[in-house]
């Protein structure tokens, strides 16, 4: 009861802020709003809700929503960034506006950062660093970064978690989970989108950002999975200067990947960089099932040797072997225009409901794939493509797959970065070598043996429980006989009677045949 009231008041604050930005019940949709929404707008007019802010005048619905979410703090900034990859929920124009949502806030004082560093590392700051720059090089809603030099003389970047961020994030996510539970329980159209599962997935991902030791571990794990040629790499972690709220890594020196002119001036080929980034991302996701899920331009630099250096490992994604195979077959199906194959993959994975036509789904996929096949990136609207895909899944009553939300979101961002480097890049042709390599490896005899071994191991883990149940059933039969439900006993008796009747008629038929043969002789 008290929890519901607490969540309700917290969400009321959110609603007031949205209303102030005309983002709760947008004026553009006034004729389409239900009665309760029109009443809400009237309440605004009689001062029960805040007046519209002057800085939203003349802005679109998506821009107003981005401003409102940005003013609500880190949880809602992250929510807006996630909704940017879901045009099926918010519409293409709003999704496009949310991609501009910036996660930049004023920095907290350097003195507070020093205090957190000393408390977390349990040493005076002079024992760990020769110097730390007062002004942070980056300040976001969750943490800020200071350049520093260690006592050994190594240039590093020190990430410090923002004070008080953990409890605020938890309160907001608890309220969102409560709202998602209500939405899924009472709003049938939203059930297909699995809002509870989506919020749970987002909570797991973003709470990883609350413990910088986990981000350090992600950086270390990703570094091991990247190609051995070192042309895509991650900075090394300084574990001696890393704790729950402090992360220290080697300082990255290079050109921002978004500055194409500077890259060309430095002698780098943007087309090569675009191909390298796309193939590395696909290899992370499909080859290893562990990928960097925040590959925007601010997290990518190009070193002097042409290598792409990735930073900020707070948001990472994982895909199971099953989901990686599903994604690989789906991609190769689109690349080769084999839409029936894609449809069958969806059916075999259980994503396409059994009562839906595989052939009709393949036809719907063709309507999406044919217009984009072979066209350069600059001629493809990724937002429109995703919107069409989600519309198709809604038509065929397919549930949202939370495991793929981060992958879909990151794919949009990566393609945007690659498009800025090479507007003529054909993402299908660039993707083909990585996808085909994964498929060959997946269906090789060695991997089939691995799959069989994993299945056998899963059965072996369940075997003791199964044997225990069988032993209990055997003991029950031995001690007191097998007890059957009356209806079950009736059914067995009826079956036995029918069997006896069939046997009787078979005997009569056999006797008749013998008589006929005897007469014939």
Long-range contacts, stretch 151-157, CB < 8 angstroms, 24+ apart: 151/127, 154/238, 154/250, 155/250, 155/251, 156/238, 156/241, 156/248, 156/249, 156/250, 156/251, 157/235, 157/248, 157/249, 157/250, 157/251, 157/252, 157/311
How many Cα atoms within 13 Å fall on the side-chain side of residue 120? 24
How many Cβ atoms sit within 10 Å of the Cβ of residue 123?
Answer: 14
CA distance 310 to 248: 15
Q: What angle do CA 515, 516, 521 make, to 5 degrees?
A: 95
Q: What angle do CA 422, 77, 43 make, to 5 degrees?
A: 130
Find the helix or strand (DSSP H, E) in which 197 lies: helix 195-207
What crossing angle do the helices spanning 405-421 and 270-282 adopt, rounded to 10°?
Answer: 170
Rg (CA), the chain: 30
User: Cα dist. 487→330, 483, 492, 494 in Å?
Assistant: 48, 12, 9, 10
Residues 377 and 415: beta-carbon distance below 8 Å: yes
Long-range contacts, stretch 443-451, CB < 8 angstroms, 24+ apart: 451/321
Strands 308-310 and 232-233, by their bridges, are parallel
Residues 365 and 342: beta-carbon distance below 8 Å: yes
Give me the residues paired with residue 310 across strands. Answer: 300
CA distance 293 to 41: 38
Give me the residues paired with residue 302 across strands. Answer: 255, 308
Q: Which residues are catalytic?
A: 294
b/e 409-432 (16+ beta carbons within 10 angstroms → b): bbbbbbbebbbbbbeebebbebbb
How would you class 232 by CB atoms within 10 Å of its CB: exposed for 0-12, middle for 13-18, buried for 19 or more?
buried
Kindly write down the DSSP assignment for every residue of 345-399, as one continuous string.
HHHHTT-S-TTS-HHHHHHHHHHHHTTTTT--GGG--HHHHHHHHHHHHHHTTPP
């Amino acid at each position: 009861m008290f929890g519901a009231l607490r969540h309700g008041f917290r969400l009321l604050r959110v609603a007031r802020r949205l209303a102030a930005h005309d983002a709760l019940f947008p004026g553009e949709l006034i004729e389409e709003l239900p009665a309760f929404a029109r009443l809400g707008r009237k309440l605004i007019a009689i001062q029960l809700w805040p007046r519209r802010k002057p800085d939203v005048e003349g802005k679109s619905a998506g821009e107003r929503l981005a401003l409102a979410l940005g003013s609500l703090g880190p949880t809602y900034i992250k929510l807006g960034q996630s909704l940017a990859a879901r045009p099926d929920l918010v519409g293409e124009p709003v999704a496009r506006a949310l991609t501009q949502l910036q996660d930049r806030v004023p920095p907290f004082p350097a003195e507070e950062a020093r205090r957190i560093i000393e408390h977390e590392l349990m040493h005076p700051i002079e024992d760990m660093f020769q110097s730390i720059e007062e002004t942070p090089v980056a300040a976001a809603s969750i943490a800020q970064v200071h350049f520093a030099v260690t006592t050994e003389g190594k240039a590093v970047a020190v990430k410090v978690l923002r004070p008080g961020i953990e409890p605020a994030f938890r309160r907001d996510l608890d309220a969102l989970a409560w709202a998602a539970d209500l939405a899924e329980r009472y709003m049938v159209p939203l059930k297909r989108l699995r809002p509870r599962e989506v919020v749970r997935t987002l909570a797991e991902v973003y709470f990883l950002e609350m413990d910088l030791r986990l981000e350090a571990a992600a950086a270390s794990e990703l570094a091991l999975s990247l190609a051995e040629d070192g042309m895509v790499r991650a900075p090394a972690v300084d574990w001696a200067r890393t704790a729950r709220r402090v992360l220290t890594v080697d300082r990255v020196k290079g050109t921002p990947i978004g500055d194409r002119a500077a890259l060309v001036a430095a002698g780098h080929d943007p087309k090569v960089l675009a191909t390298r980034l796309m193939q590395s991302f696909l290899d992370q996701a499909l080859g290893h099932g562990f990928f960097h899920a925040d590959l925007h331009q601010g997290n990518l630099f190009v070193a002097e040797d042409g290598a792409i250096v990735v930073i900020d490992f707070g948001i990472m994604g994982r895909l199971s072997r099953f989901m990686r195979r599903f994604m690989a077959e789906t991609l190769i199906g689109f690349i080769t225009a084999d839409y029936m194959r894609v449809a069958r993959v969806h059916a075999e994975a259980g994503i396409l409901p059994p009562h839906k036509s595989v052939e009709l789904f393949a036809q719907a996929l063709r309507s999406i794939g044919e217009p984009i096949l072979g066209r350069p990136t600059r001629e493809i609207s990724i937002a429109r493509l995703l919107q069409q895909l989600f519309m198709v899944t809604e038509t065929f009553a397919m549930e949202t797959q939370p495991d793929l939300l981060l992958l879909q979101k990151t794919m949009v961002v990566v393609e945007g970065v690659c498009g800025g480097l090479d507007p003529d890049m054909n993402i299908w042709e660039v993707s083909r070598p990585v996808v085909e390599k994964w498929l060959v490896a997946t269906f090789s005899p060695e991997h089939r043996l691995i799959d069989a071994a994993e299945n056998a191991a899963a059965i072996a883990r369940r075997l003791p429980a199964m044997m225990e149940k069988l032993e209990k059933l055997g003991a029950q039969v031995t001690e007191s006989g097998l007890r059957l439900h009356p209806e079950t006993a009736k059914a067995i008796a009826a079956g036995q009677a029918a069997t006896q009747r069939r046997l009787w008629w078979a005997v009569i038929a056999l006797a008749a045949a013998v008589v006929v043969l005897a007469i014939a002789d």
